A = this chain, B = another copy of it.
Amino acid sequence: MKGDRTRQTILERAVDLASLEGLHGLTIGRLADDLGMSKSGLFAHFGSKEELQLATIEAAGQRFIEQTLRPALQAERGYPRLVAICRAWLDYCRRDVFEGGCFFAAASFEFDGRPGPVREAIAGHMKNWMAAIEKAIAMAQEEEQLDPDIEPKQLAFEINSIFFGANFSWQLCREKDAIARAWTAIEWRLEALRITPSKQRRRALR
C-alpha cells in the first residue's frame, strides 16, 4: 500500500532526473538524497539499477501518454487527429513535461549504442509511438483527407524527425522560436498532402 505510493513518488522524480542527466547518469544515491530518503530504502523498491531504469522508462511512458498522446486522440479521427497529435507533441515540448526535455529523445540517443534490456525497452516505446503516428496518417487517408500516395511510414518518419529537431533547438540551442519553426515545417508538409473538400470535388470530376 504505502510502498506503492512511495514507489510512484520515486519514479516521478527519477523520470525528471533521467531526462536531465540521462538514464545512465541517473544515480541511486543522488535520487535518494533528492527525495530525502536512504539509498538502501529506495534501492529495495527495485532490486537493481537496471530494474530502476526499466521502471523509470515505464513511468515516463505513462506520463507521456497521459499528457500528450491520450488528449490528442480525443480529436476527430482523420486529418484533425493527425494535426492534433503534432500540436500535442510540440506543446509537450514547449511545456517541458520532462524537466530536461523529451525523455525518449534523450534516451533514444543515449542507448542506441548499448545492447541490453534498457535499450530494447526504449526502442519498444519509440516503436509504439511511431506506430501511433502511422495509424493516424493511415486513418486520414481512409477518410480521404490525405494524399493516399504518401507512405504512412515515410510521413511518420518526417514528422518524428521534426520533433527531434524541435527538441534539439529548444533544449540545446534555447531558441525561442524552435516550436514555431517545427510547426511551420509540419503545417506546410501536411497542408500540401491534404485533400480538402474542393480538391476532392476536383478529383471526383476527373
Contact = CB atoms under 8 A, between A and B. Distances in A.
Interface of A: 19-22, 24-25, 99-101, 105-106, 108-114, 119, 122-123, 126-127, 153-154, 157-158, 160-162, 164-169, 171-173, 181-182, 184-185
- How many monomers of this protein are in the complex? 2
Contacts of A169: 157
A63 to B, nearest CB: 17
Contact of A100 (B22, B100, B112): B112
A31 to B, nearest CB: 16
Given A164-B164, A165-B157, A165-B164, A101 B123 contact: no
A156 to B, nearest CB: 10
Contacts of A119: 172
A160 to B, nearest CB: 6
A198 to B, nearest CB: 21
B164 A19 contact: no
A25 to B, nearest CB: 6
Q: Which of A100, A157, A181 has the most CB of B within 10 A?
A: A157
A22 B21 CA distance: 11
Q: Enumerate the 3 nearest inter-chain pairs by beta-carbon distance, A residue then B residue, closest first.
A: A161-B165, A100-B113, A112-B171
Nearest to A173: B123
A186 to B, nearest CB: 10
Contact of A171 (B101, B113, B164, B168): B113
